[in-house]
Structure formats: structure tokens, C-alpha cells
Structure 1
Amino acid sequence: MVNRLALFSLFVVFFFLFHGSPALAQPAAAPAPSGPDNITKILEKAGQYTVLLKLMKSTAVGDQINTQLNNSNNGLTVFAPTDNAFSGLQPGTLNSLSNEQQVELIQFHVIPTFLSTGQFQTVSNPLRTQAGGSGSYEYPMNVTTSGNQVNISTGVSNATVDNTIFSDGQLAVYQVDQVLLPMSIFGSKPPAPAPAPEKSKKKKAASTDADSPTADSSSGAAKSRSRYWWPAMVGTMVLMGWKICL
């Protein structure tokens, strides 16, 4: 009886060793890798960015951002105006822009590098955006900080960073309370260049005849003709008188 119990116990032990060990040794399933950043999905999830999403789609800037995130290691920073920010624009502002200007407006909200909130304190102004150059009458953007507050100035509009929507070291998306309006589109035009100074005119001579070689030559020719014509006339008159007397 004891031997049977011992054999049964050994059987149970071996059964769990051979059939239970694969289950214990099987590694846990790894979490599914997260996909690449997608600005459209991020803004859709955050809500209140309907106008911005519409413009990103119509201008294809949204696709451009996603492509850059997949092919570049520099990262991107996006300033996202809310629907309330767009409603603060003058009526018809967006419709008055050409297709090219709408593209530039949205690109003006994109910095071609990743900027954390801490980097705003040390960043060099003016920032260069994807819209183009940062010259005075181009697309300048200046960022200043006051405590934890980040302020943005474009020369036309002033905005404040209200919230961090998304940040992962590759893409940073910040909510701003105003639409960032670039100087190139909404600012005053640069002053026209000053006209070139006129060349100084030559001083006129006191006498027109003295300045005109033609007048001098004409006058000289007349005097010359007068000198030879007078004796001929006198001779002719004398000859005619002599014939009459005869």
C-alpha cells in the first residue's frame, strides 16, 4: 500500500514537471509597439481643433508633418490654435487668403525642431518656422518667458502657450490662445526704397550762342558773305551808271 502511494506521488510530480514547465517557461507577450506620431490623430483626440485640422488637410501640411516625423530625427514643434482662437479673427480673414498664403499660415505654426517647455527659456530669437525666413518683413517669431508662462510674438499678433497637448521627445504640440499671424501676410509692407539722387545738371552758359557751335559757325559765315558781297554790289551800280551816261 505504501509503495503504491509513493509511486502515485512520483507520477503526479513528474506529470506537473513535464506538462506545467512549458507554461511557466513561456515568456509574457510583449506590448504592441506604438506607431509613429501622427499630428492629425493627436489633435482629433485632444478636441477643439476642428478649424486647424481642416486647414491642415486642405493645405496638406498635416501630411507633411507626419512625413517629416517618420524621416527626420530633428523632431518638430507645433503651436495649435484652438477653435476659439480662430473665431477671434476678423470675419473673412481665412477666406481672403490665397491657397499659398494658407499653406504659409499653417507652416508658420511649425518649428522644424523639437522644443521642450524648458527650452523656451534659452531659445534664440527670432525662431525660424517652416514658413520661411525670419527677417523683419518675412516670418519672424519671438518667444519670451515669464515664470512658467510662455509668450509668443509675431509682430502682428501675441499669443500665450496655454497647455502641452503632446510631447514625447520627437514631437511637441502646444495649445495657443491666438492664431499666429506672420508679418509677410498680415503685417505692414516694407517701405519703398528711396529714389536714386538725380545727376547734377550742367550749368547753362550766359549766352546761348556761346554754347552753340552751330550758331557761331552760322554767324561767321554770314559775316564772311557780307564782306565779299558789298564790293560786288558797289561795282555793279557803278557799271550801270556808266552805261546810262554813255
Structure 2
Amino acid sequence: MTFNFQFFLLITLLCTTTTTTTVAQPAQAPGPPAPTNITKILEKASQFTTLIRLFSITKVGDQINTQLNNSKQGMTVFAPTDNAFSSLSAGTLNSLSDQQKDELIQFHVIPTFISTSQFQTLSNPLRTQAGDSTTYNFPLNMTSSGNQVNLTTGVVNATVENPVYTDGSLAVYQVDKVLLPMSLFGPQPPAAAPSPQTQKEKKKKAGDEDTTATGDSKANSSRRIGLRWALHGLMNGVIAFIVMYYL
């Protein structure tokens, strides 16, 4: 058998070749989630241009972001669409002062997280960021029937159409109308009835005025009578003088 030197060399080369093994690097842990930003959420959803502008003007958007990142209660926003704002009477927003615009937007924000499963168990009126929820101020009531959820302010009735965003901390729900609060757009509260003490004071004042008027009337009457007697005496004196002169 003939020895094949080339074959032997090839086998030797293959056996002595060093094999390099690549060690896989461990995957990096994901970074912390980005802080919630209500403006970016609405921008991504589109059709909320007017609400985004009002969030910016009133700084309510910044307040929501700050509260979300520093509170465990969460928040809920009822977001009117651009069409909802367009349906308002012309000049409605422009007629409001900066403070009133702030109150209007705060009225759309609930300082707690509300899931869709909680709609039927909520107690009315809902507490909004606008403050006082009594009648003639900022009452907001929710009613639920089947799959339909309605909101009423005493001025307007709106429908919750669909969730825009929810993450367990922030819930954003689209509504078909701007929520107009009683304090800004409703009738003014009736004037308070006067207290019994006030009524007594008015009667006493009226009585004093009547007494003064009566006294003045009597004094005027006495002066008129005295004047008549003085004139009567003067006429008698003149007549007596004429008679004595001609006699």
C-alpha cells in the first residue's frame, strides 16, 4: 500500500486547527418606562386638536402629567373631539376668561382612575378637578344602561363613546360633547330669602318713615291754618280802617 503524504498532511492540519467559540452576551434589561404624557396620547389618537391646545393654554396637561407621576390614585379624562368643540355656539370659548377656561378643562378631569367596569357602580355626583360638585357649581353625573354611558352636567348631556387609552393609571374616554358646567353656562342660583331679622328691620324702617311723614304732614297743616288766620285778621283790619276813614 502506497503512503499518501498529502492526505496525511491534510488530516494533521485539520486536527490541529483551533476552533473559536463565541460566547453570547446577556441581553440588556429593559429601561424604565417613559413617563405618561397626556398630550402625546391625544396626538396619537388624533381628532383632539382643540383639547390639546386648551391643555397647553391652561397648563392642565402639565398638571395631569405631574399628578400621574406623583400619585397612586390615577386619573380619568373625558376628552371631547374636535367635532364636539365645533358644535359649540360661535364665540363660546373666546368669551371665557383664562380662569374660566381653566375651570372648563378641569371639569373634564377626574382625580382617580375609573375603568369601564366601574361605570355602573360610581356614586354621583362625580368629583372633578374643577372643585365644588353641588348644584349651580360643577355637578357631573354618570348614568349607565347596558353598553351606553351618559354624562350630564345640568346644561348638556354627553355620551361616552369609546376608550382612547387606559393603562391602569390613566384612562382617557372620548365623549361626543363638551361638558359645560352649571357654574359657567347654567342659570344663576336664586337669591337667598331674607332672614326674619332683616324683615323686621325693613318693617321698622318703613314705620319710622311713615311716622316722619305723618309728623311733617301735621306740621305743614298747622302752618297753613296759621297763615289763613293771619290773612283773615289782616283783611278785617283793612276793612275796619276803610269804614272808619269814610265815616
> Does the alignment reach a TM-score above 0.5?
yes
Alignment of 1:175-190 (within 5 A): 175-190=174-189
The SS at the match of 2:35 is coil
TM-score (norm 1): 0.73
Matched, 1:74 2:80: no
Residue in 1 aligned with 2:147? 148
| Alignment RMSD | 2.3
Letter in 2 for 1:156: V
Residue in 2 aligned with 1:43? 42
Q: How many residues align?
A: 196
- Counterpart-to-counterpart distance in 1, 2:15 and 2:135: 88
Letter in 2 for 1:195: P
Q: Map Cα deviations across residues 183-232 of structure 1 (whole Å, 9 max, x no partner).
A: 1111111110112343376xx9xxx9xxxxxxxxxxxxxxxxxxxxxxxx
Matched, 1:101 2:105: no
The SS at the match of 2:191 is coil
Deviation >3 Å, runs of 4+: 1-12, 29-33
Alignment of 1:1-246 (within 5 A): 5=11, 8-9=14-15, 12=18, 15-16=19-20, 19-20=21-22, 22-23=23-24, 26-197=25-196, 198-199=199-200
TM-score (norm 2): 0.73
Provide the identity percentage. Answer: 65
- Counterpart-to-counterpart distance in 2, 1:179 and 1:89: 8
Q: Map Cα deviations across residues 91-123 of structure 1 (whole Å, 9 max, x no partner).
A: 111111111000000000000000011111111
- Counterpart-to-counterpart distance in 2, 1:76 and 1:146: 23
- Counterpart-to-counterpart distance in 2, 1:188 and 1:158: 16
In structure 1, list runs of 5 or more residues that go unmatched: 209-246
| Deviation, structure 1 residue 163 | 1.3
Q: Map Cα deviations across residues 115-163 of structure 1 (whole Å, 9 max, x no partner).
A: 0111111111110000001111211111111111111111111111111
- Rate the CA distance shift 1:9–1:175 in 2: closer, same or farther, 3 A: farther
